[in-house]
Structure 1
Amino acid sequence: MSSTLHLNCLSNASEVNESICGETRQQGELPGPMYVVLAVYLFFLTIFGILVNGAVIYLYFSRREIATVSNMYIVALCLCGFLIATLGIPFAAASSIRHHWLFGDGICKLHGFLLTGLGIVMIALMTGIAIDKYIHIVWYQAHRKVTKSFALGIITLCYVYGVIWGILPLFGWNKYVLEPARLTCSVEWTGDFSNHSYAITILFTGLLIPVGVIASLYSSILKKIHFQRKSSQQLVSLARKQKMIKREKKVAITLFLMVGSFIVAWLPYSIYGFICILGYSKDIPLIWHTIPSVFAKASILWNPLIYASRSKVMKKALAETFPFLRWLIRNPDKVQTNEQKNQTSLTLLRSRTLNSSDVVVQSSSENPAISASV
């Protein structure tokens, strides 16, 4: 095996791959069973990434109740996941079967560009989703003025932002190289000042700053919902109070899952990047050069699953569109009845309150930011 690896390294004359091959010779290959595990895992991500993201995209364009302004961000996020599942992960899965990259230096650069650019687009879109939910819940009246054209403009900016950061290494600021396990390509975390400056910049702009913005906005959302519930307690019955508390807990869990999935998906890879920047990459076992990267790719499944599973409207649409998913809704007729009751209750509450408290009661009810959006 070592002689084969040596020949593979010598057969590629590019400077990029010579340095990677040299590092790989020093560390050795992954254990044989690990390649099998990675291949199965990556093919699983490919298949289910296409199905799950494709289903959400299909529902948006086929179901009117799903085609909201807020859900445009979700569909854009799913489009990223779909592209990564179709154009990115299969190359790494196929390479896992043969224990090395199969597609040459040109495809390696394209592969690195797609994964890096689309990854940054996903992070930007998740920040956009947090901003949209903040406006929708905290500034509910203002959200009515947010049109689909405005949302489309924000989404376009997110894609442009990711493409710019993804294309810069192709023009000399950092570069795309094979990762030490030789199964996938990414930016070079080690090397000279140019490599380090790019790597540090994307870690701050692509992780630390978005995490701070998302956490701050979701914290404000929870505070607003809690304040609304406290303010309207004297206007509603005990049963209604309990329902509002239950809804508040549900929103808290949803926001926790959104932030948690973001951090869990990208934090290991970011820590790995920092360690490499500090010059300790050779001290990392080969397997830990691989796990953070492939683990981050699972975000293409987590995001749509979390958004879909926390939305009654989305679950209902999935159950009606795909009969084998009817288990998602125990009693579809009851869901419709509850929606009618909520609307009736909202009308009665509005008629009993002053204009100054109308916004509080409105936002405390089944408002679109909590129940209608994904």
Structure 2
Amino acid sequence: MVYYGPAPNVWSPTTLINNLTVVDSVPPEMLHLVDPHWYQFPPLNPLWHGIIGFVTFILGVISVVGNGVVIYIFSTEKSLRTPSNLFVVNLAVSDFTMMLTNSFPMVYNCWYETWVLGPLMCDLYAYSGSIVGCCSIWTMTMIALDRYNVIVKGLSGKPLTNSGAVLRIIFCWMVGIVWGALPMLGWSRYVPEGNMTACGTDYLSDDWVQKSYILCYSAFVYYTPLFTIIYSYYYIVQAVSAHEKSMREQAKRMNVQSLRSGDDGKSAEMKLAKIALVTISLWFMAWTPYTIINYTGIFKTATISPLATIWGSLFAKANAVYNPIVYGISHPKYRAALNKRFPALACADPPASADDKSVVSDTTAVNEDMKTSSA
């Protein structure tokens, strides 16, 4: 290719010469899936394909290893086989599957700088991503609801059983299977993303019947889980805060610093508040870019470039990397088991009381403390 004028910036799309577009390298059998919107953009600079492929590969390896370790330890450590931890295992399974089915095909296509796996694999790629993405989102919602039930409702809440946890997990997978299958059945469709190395839902169609899928999808798979998680953690922090306040007042009346040995009366409250903030923030950062891109395409509020479309995919994939950290490594018993079986992967030596409860379990002591304080 011959360039005219100043040398192109390596961080910008390749200069448009001889009317070349990002669609020109797409195989003929894929052209019917490409929206006319993308014909106005020049090819991406090959450097971007290299960077995106490399980052996606690294995320894939870290996620597969991290979630694989979480699945192994939670499944084999007897002390971790609780109904609540089934959600953690399921989250690791869905994230593991997401990166296994979505990251490495994307790396392969980045090598060729376009989608070369054909229309069927485009459908399967997007379908699998939708299934495990929905499952991960709703599993995180179930984790929040379980913590709400234990901490806020306390003794009045119905204890979670293995069968109850399994039924909720089946619900999470069914949500993904149903919503993922609808585009393949005619309500919307799966098409190549703007950079042509990944596939996703068609958000550029002018047909409002097709657009309605994304609106309904986002309502059930984005807004409902998001507000549920925020609602749950708001009342969790509020309940723990109120209880810690009553404990401090009780300790003051008894002329002691704290009713818990080695505790200043604020640790559980602060730890839970931090976990709530981190959980909501990471969830929001992971899935909001996709929602913004889809809504921008539906309502034509801005021009979407091929490079912009990739950020939603990368942020969602990154979610599968840090989920094991937030939900696994933050668990003291998991850290102890990790240090025992895979010392090289342990972030730090386990505390002396490695068999202590997690923050969530610690805060469930609210019920027992209330019994003591009221006695």
* Alignment partner of 1:176 is 2:196: no
The partner residue of 1:335 within 341, 353, 356 is 353
Cα distance, 1:90–1:143 mapped onto 2, change above 3 Å: farther
Report if the CA contact (8 A) 1:101-1:182 is conserved: yes
The partner residue of 2:161 within 123, 147, 167 is 147
The partner residue of 1:72 within 78, 86, 94 is 86
The one-letter code sitting in structure 2 at the alignment partner of 1:278 is F
| DSSP-derived class of the 1:186 partner | strand
Distance in 1 of aligned mates of 2:128 and 2:87 = 19
Mean Cα deviation higher: 84-93 or 284-293:
284-293
* Alignment partner of 1:114 is 2:125: no
* Alignment partner of 1:188 is 2:202: yes
Report if the CA contact (8 A) 1:228-1:361 is conserved: no
Cα distance, 1:45–1:337 mapped onto 2, change above 3 Å: closer
Report if the CA contact (8 A) 2:59-2:318 is conserved: yes
Percent identity reads 23
Partner in structure 1 of residue 340 of structure 2:
320
**Count of paired positions:** 345
**TM value normalised by structure 1:** 0.85
After TM superposition, the structure 1 = structure 2 runs for residues 1-374 of structure 1, keeping only pairs within 5 Å, are 8-9=25-26, 11-12=28-29, 15-17=32-34, 19=35, 22-142=36-156, 145-191=159-205, 192-236=207-251, 237-240=256-259, 242-280=263-301, 283-329=303-349, 332=351, 334-336=352-354, 357-358=370-371
Cα distance, 1:32–1:9 mapped onto 2, change above 3 Å: closer
Distance in 2 of aligned mates of 1:52 and 1:310 = 13
Distance in 2 of aligned mates of 1:277 and 1:24 = 15
Q: Displacement, 1:308?
A: 2.1
Higher helix share: 1
Q: Displacement, 1:144?
A: 6.4
The one-letter code sitting in structure 1 at the alignment partner of 2:215 is I
Report if the CA contact (8 A) 1:228-1:360 is conserved: no
Q: Deviations over 1:224-248 (max 9, x none)?
A: 0011111222444314475330221
Distance in 1 of aligned mates of 2:342 and 2:374 = 35
Distance in 2 of aligned mates of 1:168 and 1:102 = 24
| DSSP-derived class of the 2:239 partner | helix
| DSSP-derived class of the 1:177 partner | strand
Distance in 2 of aligned mates of 1:321 and 1:222 = 34
Q: Deviations over 1:185-228 (max 9, x none)?
A: 11101211121000111111111121111101100000100111
Report if the CA contact (8 A) 2:193-2:306 is conserved: no
Report if the CA contact (8 A) 1:108-1:176 is conserved: yes
The one-letter code sitting in structure 1 at the alignment partner of 2:103 is I
**TM value normalised by structure 2:** 0.85
Distance in 2 of aligned mates of 1:219 and 1:229 = 15
Report if the CA contact (8 A) 1:316-1:328 is conserved: no
Distance in 2 of aligned mates of 1:337 and 1:291 = 40
The one-letter code sitting in structure 1 at the alignment partner of 2:240 is I
Partner in structure 2 of residue 372 of structure 1:
none
Report if the CA contact (8 A) 1:73-1:151 is conserved: yes
Root-mean-square deviation over aligned CA pairs = 2.7
Gaps of 5+ in 2: 2-18
Q: Deviations over 1:150-204 (max 9, x none)?
A: 1000110110011100001110000000011101111101211121000111111
Report if the CA contact (8 A) 2:149-2:158 is conserved: no
